[in-house]
């Protein structure tokens, strides 16, 4: 018998039991499916679902602020008013660090900040999770309880999943409209940065790497999602097979790479976790994203560089699964005229995008002497390292100006700004025409010094620059670039054919081939590096060549075969001792003895990139036919300043007393020994640096194609005799080691030199 039958008891929604994530996700799905779910609904469901007494959601606002956007259980009047700076209070700390905090007694935490308007006095414990997407923190979600307790791992996991859903919701809102202060952004924006490859490009933005918001987050049909996942895993595997068979030469390396990917993609642990997340109610894309996030977070905390390298595999695999699931678009076939905007970019990827027709590239994590930058200069693609934030803000198709001269990326420029750039681009075309007049002139300074201007290249497709620029030859042929582009080192016949083609195209002009300089940031696919902490100073380049002489000998043989009796000039990279130089030269001599016809003349030289070599000059000059200074590496080792770290880009200057003194001594020693000296680092391609080097007596400079004519235009107008005393004076005044660039540039401008 029932009492009170005429007034049926109010149906209460079943409160999920402690940690019942499926129930929580089912309720979330219901709300999200209705299309009317608000942040307040999410706060309420989470507070209920985790049996907490309160929940808060803070979202990021411009200016590094976090604003209370919703609450359950605290004072709703504080919503829209309470703001914290990133790093302020526990919420701000979670946002700034990206770490989860699980505190039984939050108010006694040293970073706790009291805000009277929220009304959280009664709350003891707090679990706060950052809301992150594609490396950015979009907000923080937290639950609180009166009781002092530590939340269980299951509860932490559940809130982390909700935070991920929230990130997708916020990202989607950002793509449409979140109101004035939200994430929608249609205003012009400027991002400062550093020039990697000079030039200006105007076009539409193509952001790549940040996946678009996931369309469907939750499912009520896990079986169907598991089927979708299986199909996607199959497709991703087939895609890998195709990729490797098309791009990898046969052999052990390619098999290793394939195996490594197989291990990660088919690792039962990884797939089981994804399946479990689907069974909890997530769609296949959301589940892949969730498990990838967990893995990334775990990996980031691991110091071991080898394991951290696996992050790249995970990113790659997640990308492939997302593409297969239809959640992320594959690289477009063509990207003509687009300005690519990416977080990171390797040299091989840059080549790939170049082939797709990009007009310019902005990279968040890059530096001028990194190899993507060097390649961008070689290919004549304007490139800029930009401050963080651009990748997140830009939408595909946004109009943009990549000013890789003023070091700015302008998103959605005002019409007046566009007009100014259009005029500048027109002027540039005219300057290019004016510079072209220098092409056939020899580089002889006003005081009669003849300078050789040579090219730095690494690909057959760059060889037309010889004719375009009128360069005197190739001062640095980076043989590893073709290997990077091909995804592996070709066999002897393949290498010999390439070197032969280079000599054919040079048509009698000198070519200095540098042997393979792999390692550090130039890794072939599947080479994770040797797990070193400082790969730039590690087992790389000639060191590998000497320890594994078979590869080096094969390359030397290919060079000799490619020369077919012609003059040949070979140099070794990263030489640190005369002994190493001798060992490398011995390998070359052994190969030379076997190959017929022998080259009519064989010059053997060394790069000077390691400072220790400066203290072995007598021995070195007795054995080397020529020396080429690689300022990119020499600067990083001289000043202990990683060439790939954006913060250090402008910190130390080649135009400073210590570097100029070093070069001057080197010039004297080489002149006395009758050994040819050149500079082939990126500095040689900067007109002002080139001018200073010429004044020191360096008469051979090697640089990327775009630099030849601007450098020549300055040198032919310069009087080195007038510059020398000025340079001496500036060096004396700058003896404390700082840059003398500004006063030197002022002198050059006074003398009408276009530096």
Whether the link from the prior residue into 597 is cis, omega within 30° of 0, is yes
Residue 465's binding partner among Mg ion, ligand PEP, none (Cβ under 5 to 8 angstroms by kind) is none
Chosen from ligand PEP, Mg ion, none, partner binding at 165 (C-beta under 5 to 8 Å by type): none
Kindly determine how many residues on this chain lie close enough to bind Mg ion according to the rule CB under 5 A. Answer: 3
User: What are the strands, taking DSSP E only, across 493-585?
Assistant: 510-514, 568-572
Return the residue of 681, 685, 687, 705 that touches ligand PEP, per CB under 6 A. Answer: 681
Instruction: Write each residue from 633 to 672 as x if it is in contact with ligand PEP (CB under 6 A), else as -, in one continuous string.
Output: x---------------------------------------
Please, which residue, 480 or 609, has the CB nearer to Mg ion? 609
Residue from the set 360, 413, 630, 705 that interacts with ligand PEP by CB under 6 A: 630
CA distance linking residue 529 with residue 533, whole number of Å: 10
State the binding partner of 631 from Mg ion, ligand PEP, none, CB within 5 to 8 A by kind.
ligand PEP
| Distance in angstroms (rounded) separating the CA atoms of residues 51 and 564 | 80
Closest approach of ligand PEP to the CB of residue 700, in Å: 14
Name the residue nearer to ligand PEP (CB basis): 364 or 480. Answer: 480
Could you please report the per-residue DSSP string of 567-579? -EEEEESS--SHH
Assess 343 for contact with ligand PEP (CB under 6 A).
no
Specify the stretch interacting with Mg ion by CB under 5 A; choose among 209-217, 355-363, 604-612, 730-738.
604-612
Strands 65-72 and 189-197: unpaired
- Contact segment (CB under 5 A) with Mg ion among 35-43, 278-286, 399-407, 630-638 equals 630-638
**Among 686, 699, 629, residue whose Cα is nearest residue 659:** 629
Query: Binding Mg ion by CB under 5 A: which of 630, 705, 710, 734?
Result: 630
Alpha-carbon torsion angle 63, 64, 68, 69, nearest 10: 70
CA 296 – CA 307 distance, rounded (Å): 11
Residue 185 interacts with ligand PEP (CB under 6 A): yes or no: no
**For residues 161 and 141, is the Cβ–Cβ distance under 8 A?**
no
**CA 687/CA 178 separation, integer angstroms:** 48
Q: How far is the CB of 536 from Mg ion (least distance, A)?
A: 9
DSSP assignment of 28-41 = HHHHHHTT---HHH
Shorter beta-carbon distance to ligand PEP: residue 240 or 575: 575
Task: Identify which of residues 132 and 377 has a Cβ nearer to ligand PEP in the complex.
Answer: 377
Compute the least distance from the CB of residue 163 to ligand PEP, in Å: 42
Alpha helix ranges (H) inside 325-406: 347-355, 371-379, 390-393
Q: Rule CB under 6 A: choose which of 280, 289, 609, 689 binds ligand PEP.
A: 609
- In the list 168, 364, 480, 633, the residue contacting Mg ion (rule: CB under 5 A) is 633
The stretch near ligand PEP (CB under 6 A) out of 523-531, 630-638, 653-661, 719-727 is 630-638
Per DSSP, 697 falls in state T
The rounded distance, in Å, linking the Cα atoms of 121 and 114 is 8
Query: Does 478 interact with ligand PEP (rule: CB under 6 A)?
Result: yes
CB-CB contact of 47 with 73 (8 Å): yes
> Could you give the strand order of the β-sheet that contains 101-103, starting from the edge strand earlier in sequence?
83-85, 65-72, 54-61, 136-145, 125-133, 101-103
Q: Which residue is nearest to Mg ion (CB)?
A: 633
User: Does 458 interact with Mg ion (rule: CB under 5 A)?
Assistant: no
Q: Give the position of tokens 């992050």.
A: 311
Write each residue from 499 to 528 as x if it is in contact with ligand PEP (CB under 6 A), else as -, in one continuous string: ------------------x-----------
The residues of the shown chain that bind ligand PEP, judged by CB under 6 A, are: 374, 476, 478, 517, 609, 630-633, 680-681
């Amino acid at each position: 018998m029932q009492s009170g039958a005429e007034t049926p008891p109010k149906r209460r929604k079943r409160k999920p039991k402690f940690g019942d994530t499926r129930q929580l996700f089912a309720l979330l799905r219901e709300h999200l499916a209705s299309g009317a779910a608000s942040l307040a609904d999410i706060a309420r469901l989470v507070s209920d679902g985790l049996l907490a007494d309160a929940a808060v959601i803070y979202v990021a606002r411009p200016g590094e602020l976090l604003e209370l956007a919703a609450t359950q259980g605290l004072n709703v009047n504080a919503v829209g008013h309470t703001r914290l700076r990133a790093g302020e209070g526990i919420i701000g700390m979670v946002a700034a660090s990206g770490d989860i905090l699980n505190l039984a007694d939050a108010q006694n935490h040293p970073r706790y900040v009291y805000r009277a308007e929220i009304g959280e006095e009664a709350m003891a414990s707090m679990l706060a999770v950052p809301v992150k997407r594609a490396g950015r923190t979009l907000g923080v979600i937290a639950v609180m309880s009166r009781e002092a307790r530590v939340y269980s791992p299951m509860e932490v996991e559940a809130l982390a999943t909700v935070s991920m859903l929230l990130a997708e919701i916020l990202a989607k809102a950002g793509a449409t409209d979140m109101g004035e202060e939200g994430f929608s952004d249609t205003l012009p924006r400027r991002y400062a940065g550093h020039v990697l490859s000079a030039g200006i490009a105007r076009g539409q933005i193509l952001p790549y790497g940040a996946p678009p918001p996931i369309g469907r987050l939750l499912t009520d049909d896990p079986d169907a999602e598991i089927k979708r996942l299986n199909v996607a895993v199959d497709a991703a595997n087939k895609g890998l097979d195709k990729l490797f068979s098309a791009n990898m030469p046969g052999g052990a390396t390619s098999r290793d790479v394939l195996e490594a990917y197989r291990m990660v993609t088919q690792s039962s642990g990884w797939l089981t976790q994804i399946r479990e997340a689907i069974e909890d109610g997530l769609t296949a894309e959301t589940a892949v994203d969730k498990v990838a996030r967990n893995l990334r977070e775990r990996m980031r905390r691991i110091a071991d560089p080898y394991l951290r390298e696996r992050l790249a595999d995970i990113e790659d695999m997640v990308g492939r699964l997302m593409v297969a699931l239809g959640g992320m678009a594959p690289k477009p076939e063509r990207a003509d005229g687009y300005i690519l905007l990416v977080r990171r970019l390797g040299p091989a990827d840059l080549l790939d995008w170049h082939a797709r027709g990009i007009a310019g590239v902005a990279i968040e994590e890059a530096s001028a002497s990194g190899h993507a930058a060097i390649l961008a200069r070689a290919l004549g693609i304007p490139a800029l390292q930009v401050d963080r934030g651009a990748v997140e803000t830009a939408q595909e198709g946004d109009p943009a100006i990549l000013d890789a001269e003023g070091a700015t990326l302008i998103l959605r420029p005002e019409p007046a700004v566009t007009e100014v750039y259009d005029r500048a681009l027109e002027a540039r075309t005219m300057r290019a025409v004016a510079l072209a007049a220098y092409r056939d002139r020899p580089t002889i300074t006003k005081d009669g010094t003849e300078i050789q201007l040579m090219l730095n290249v690494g690909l057959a497709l760059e060889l037309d620059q010889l004719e375009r620029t009128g360069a005197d030859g190739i001062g640095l042929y980076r043989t590893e670039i073709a290997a990077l582009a091909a995804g592996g080192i070709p066999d002897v016949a393949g290498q010999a054919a390439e070197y032969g083609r280079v000599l054919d195209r040079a048509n009698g002009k000198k070519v200095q081939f540098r042997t393979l300089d792999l390692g550090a940031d130039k890794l072939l696919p599947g080479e994770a590096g040797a797990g070193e902490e400082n790969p730039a100073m590690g087992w790389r380049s000639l060191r590998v060549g000497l320890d594994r002489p078979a590869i080096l000998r094969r390359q030397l043989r290919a060079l000799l075969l490619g020369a077919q009796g012609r003059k040949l000039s070979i140099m070794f990279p990263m030489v640190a001792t005369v002994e190493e130089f001798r060992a490398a030269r011995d390998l070359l001599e052994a190969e030379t003895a076997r190959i017929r016809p022998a080259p009519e003349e064989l010059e053997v030289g060394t790069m000077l990139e390691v400072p220790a070599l400066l203290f072995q000059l007598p021995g070195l000059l007795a054995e080397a036919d020529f020396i080429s200074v690689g300022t990119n590496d020499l600067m990083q080792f001289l000043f202990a300043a990683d060439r790939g770290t954006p913060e250090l880009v402008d910190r130390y200057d080649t135009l400073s007393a210590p570097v100029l003194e070093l070069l001057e001594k080197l010039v004297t020693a080489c002149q006395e020994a009758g050994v040819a000296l050149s500079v082939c680092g990126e500095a040689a391609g900067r007109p002002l640096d080139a001018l200073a080097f010429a004044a020191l007596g360096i008469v051979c400079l090697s640089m990327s194609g775009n630099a030849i004519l601007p450098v020549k235009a300055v040198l032919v107008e310069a009087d080195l005799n007038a510059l020398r005393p000025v340079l001496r004076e500036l060096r004396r005044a700058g003896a404390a080691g700082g840059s003398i660039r500004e006063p030197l540039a002022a002198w050059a401008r006074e003398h009408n030199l276009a530096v």
